[in-house]
């Protein structure tokens, strides 16, 4: 990895951290796990605000609407508004409106909460009916997955309907003793059945989520840190956007995985993933390093 997992600030790291003005924070696995807020999250956010460091919440999990995410955050004691949130549902809505401006009817493999976000944006949800042909197929993380609807999504994929995946995640972090099969795994199921991959997979590591923050807040890439618990989505997004990538070990990724990625990067001129710029135990440690860099 590019920086050691400790609290000793090298001159290079101190300089890079001192430039950070905004944090793009992953949610599940970073500020909470499942339905449990990490005990240090509220103080971390307060410390960042006091230090003049802004933050936004980014999530690859499209299962909740923005309104539902804001309610969840409020229930956890975190105050935020729509300007602080960007989900892959919103990314998919923006993409469809840009690339398929005539599209109106969508077959949505997703939760009712996610479907409500698309309907709020003016789209109509197709029924599970072979005669109700969609303009676009959208496959997402669906915790209400129905086998018949999965089969219908595979049918539309096999028929050449434009096909968008909201995110590449294989599993969703959880504090329960269960594996939450995420969108990437569902798309693999459809691919195995039909031979068809999504035309595009949105969300992290696609850099457009960070580009939007930079443009809206007039920030340079080196002034933004993408903070999350996954190398293949969170810190990959930072790399793709030219931002600073911080991996926290409070969610999915372990140090063993980080070491394997670092070894691959050393031995492979074109590695699948690049190591994060910084590895921290959690956002509490990151906050301490950011404050220390400003002394």
> What's the mean pLDDT when you consider all of the chain?
93
234: pLDDT strictly greater than 70:
yes
| pLDDT of 40 strictly over 90 | yes
Q: Is the pLDDT of residue 1 over 50?
A: no
Percent of the chain with pLDDT over 70: 97
Length of the chain: 295
Q: Is 87 exposed, middle or buried (0-12, 13-18, 19+ CB in 10 A)?
A: buried
- The reported pLDDT for the residue numbered 3 is 47
* pLDDT tier, 4 (very low <50, low <70, confident <90, very high otherwise): very low
Average pLDDT of the residues in 247-266: 93
**Confidence band for 8, pLDDT divided at 50, 70 and 90:** low
**DSSP of 73-127:** HHHTT----GGGEEEHHHHHHHHHHHH-TT--EEEEES-HHHHHHHHHTT-EEPP
For the segment(s) 35-206, the CATH number from 3.40.50.1000, 3.10.20.30, 3.30.70.930, 3.30.950.10 is 3.40.50.1000
Q: Is the dihedral of CA 26, 199, 101, 110 positive or negative?
A: negative
List beta partners, residue 24.
56, 226
pLDDT (tens digit, 9 = 90+) per residue, 168-204? Answer: 889 987 878 999 999 999 999 999 999 999 999 998 8
pLDDT in tens, 12-34: 999 999 999 999 999 989 999 98
What is the tens place of the pLDDT at every residue in 158-173? 999 999 999 988 998 7
- If you average pLDDT over residues 224-245, what whole number do you get? 95
Q: Are 287 and 47 in contact (CB under 8 A)?
A: yes
Check pLDDT > 80 for residue 6.
no
Q: Which residues contact 71 (CB under 8 A, 6 or more apart)?
A: none
């Amino acid at each position: 990895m590019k920086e050691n997992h400790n609290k000793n600030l090298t001159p290079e790291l101190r300089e890079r951290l001192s430039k950070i003005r905004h944090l793009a924070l992953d949610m599940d696995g970073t500020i909470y796990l499942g339905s449990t807020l990490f005990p240090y999250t509220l103080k971390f956010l307060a410390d960042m605000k006091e230090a003049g460091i802004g933050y936004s919440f980014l999530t690859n999990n499209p299962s909740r609407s923005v309104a539902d995410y804001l309610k969840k955050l409020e229930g956890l004691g975190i105050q935020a508004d729509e300007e602080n949130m960007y989900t892959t549902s919103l990314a998919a809505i923006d993409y469809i409106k840009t690339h398929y401006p005539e599209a109106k009817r969508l077959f949505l493999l997703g939760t009712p909460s996610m479907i409500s976000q698309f309907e709020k944006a003016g789209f109509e949800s197709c029924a599970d009916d072979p005669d109700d042909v969609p303009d676009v197929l959208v496959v997402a993380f669906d915790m209400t997955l129905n086998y018949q609807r999965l089969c219908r999504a595979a049918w539309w994929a096999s028929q050449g309907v434009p096909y968008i995946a909201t995110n590449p995640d294989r599993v969703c972090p959880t504090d329960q003793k269960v594996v939450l099969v995420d969108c990437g795994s569902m798309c693999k199921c459809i691919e195995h059945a039909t031979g068809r991959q999504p035309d595009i997979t949105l969300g992290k590591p696609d850099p457009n989520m960070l580009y939007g923050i930079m443009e809206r807040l007039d920030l340079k890439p080196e002034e933004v840190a993408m903070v999350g618990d996954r190398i293949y989505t969170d810190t990959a997004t930072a790399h793709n956007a030219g931002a600073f990538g911080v991996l926290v070990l409070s969610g999915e990724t372990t140090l063993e995985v980080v070491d394997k990625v670092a070894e691959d990067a050393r031995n492979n001129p074109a590695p699948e993933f690049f190591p994060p710029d910084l590895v921290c135990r959690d956002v509490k440690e990151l906050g301490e390093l950011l404050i220390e860099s400003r002394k």
